[in-house]
Amino acid sequence: MLELLNNQVTAILMGGSQDLTYGAFLAFEQAKPSVILVTVDSRINAGAEAISADTYLQSIWKSEKLFRYCNLGHQQYLVNNKFQTQIDKSGFEAIRLGALRNNLAQAEPCIRDASLVSFDISSVRQSDAPANPFASPNGLYAEDSCQLARYAGLSDHVSCFGIFEVNPAFDIQGQTSHLAAQMIWYFIEGFIQRRTEIPSSGSNDFKVFIVNHENMEHELTFYKSLVTNRWWMEVPEIATGKSYPIACTQDEYQQASNHDIPDLWWRTFQRIN
């Protein structure tokens, strides 16, 4: 994986267990100054020190190179409360299944900024993807998983997209394998349409929105691409005076316009400073 990264090759992983994500992450640790990881999983796989499919996240969370982590589609009754608390305290993100399915587009910004996207097929409901011993009656729909794969393909930051935990022994007429193949197709379709965009007030491709808050010394700056309609917001680093563009949605801009600081801005501000 490290050699692929060093040669700027985007990799698609079809794995066994999801702890292979940890191995991929180690390559990113060596190759990149910082790493943003997105997992799609019905569970939060953290726990003991030993590396396994059920615990691998704990080791990743300890990495100083991990800048941002987000899990998509967890089912609350499958998640230990202490891991949810740990995510909140660390400034990480976790979007529950119900909230994600209510507005799938909210996943796009965190996937857009991701370096590595790891998809556990057990996050898809059993009727759509039965090839997993932990498949649940609830979960993402097949079309949801394909859309998330397309988001990953469209992101010019994603260098590795992995689909894990597909076990043919539990499959029915190859249904899960077909879904995994379709997800890869959507990733490739998104990859072909990738467009590198760097938000800048000096570019004619972006419209700039500045929101001032009387209780804050920092104004909030948002960028909207006039080409793709995607949004970013700037988060300042106090020590250097630099600002970093973070992918967001129009909802964050609307929230800021209503004099409410977006949670994403606060979490990023705390990590940077």
| 85 band by pLDDT with thresholds 50, 70 and 90 | confident
Q: Are 159 and 204 in contact (CB under 8 A)?
A: no
pLDDT tens per residue, range 128-148: 999 998 899 999 999 999 999
What does the alpha-carbon distance between residue 271 and residue 3 come to, in Å, rounded to a whole number?
A: 29
Q: Taking the model in full, what pTM does it have?
A: 0.92
Confidence at 48, pLDDT banded by 50, 70, 90: low
The CATH homologous superfamily for domain 2-192 is Ureohydrolase domain (3.40.800.10)
What are the residue ranges spanned by the domains of the chain? 2-192, 206-272
Q: What is the per-residue pLDDT across 189-232, written as a single tens digit (0 to 9) for each?
A: 999 999 999 998 888 999 999 998 776 677 899 999 999 999 99
Go through 215-237 and write b for each residue having 16 or more CB atoms within 10 A of its CB, e for each that does not. eeeeebbbbbbeeeebbbbbbbe
Is residue 47 pLDDT above 70, yes or no?
Answer: no
Taking alpha carbons only, the member of 198, 111, 121, 124 closest to residue 160 is: 111
The pLDDT of residue 91: 83
Given a contact cutoff of 8 angstroms between Cβ atoms, the answer to whether 235 and 91 are in contact is no
Contact of 187 with 233, CB cutoff 8 Å? no
